[in-house]
Amino acid sequence: MSLGNLPWLLLGCVSVALGALGLVLPLLPTTPFLLLGAYGFARSSPRLHAWLVDHPQLGGYIRDWQTHRAIDRRAKRLSVGAMAGALALSIALGLSPALLTVQGVVLLAAAAFVLSRPSPPR
């Protein structure tokens, strides 16, 4: 492996670790990190990319996106719920209205994107 691939490999490793944590931590998303990990591995390590895409628990998210540009219904619900929870927490913590506005706009755009994606065929 060349040194030019090292940043992509690190991106893949960190993203997959965060995605795996997202399986058990309610406010951390899984799918975006796994997609980012697959992107990094595709540019640095064909072996790790194949491992991730073929992984029994993690690979389905990536295959759904690569094949159908789709996000699973459960993942959509969890993602939007996590976004709503993060905004609610920010409101409860009394963050400034300007910060809440920016956060709300960004989360609304992210939720609109997630919800606009089709669900994969069953």
Indicate the domain borders of the chain. 3-68, 73-116
pLDDT tens string 22-72? 888 777 778 888 999 999 999 999 999 999 999 998 898 889 988 999 998
Over residues 114-118, mean pLDDT:
93
0.75 cut: is pTM over it?
Answer: no
What is the reported pLDDT for 68?
A: 93
pLDDT tens string 64-90? 988 999 998 988 898 898 889 989 999
Question: Residue 47 corresponds to which tokens in the numbers above?
Answer: 């072996």
Say which range, 26-35, 45-54, 102-111, 113-122, has the weakest mean pLDDT: 26-35
Q: Where do the H-state alpha helices sit in 2-72?
A: 6-22, 31-44, 46-54, 59-68
Distance CA 56, CA 54 (A): 6
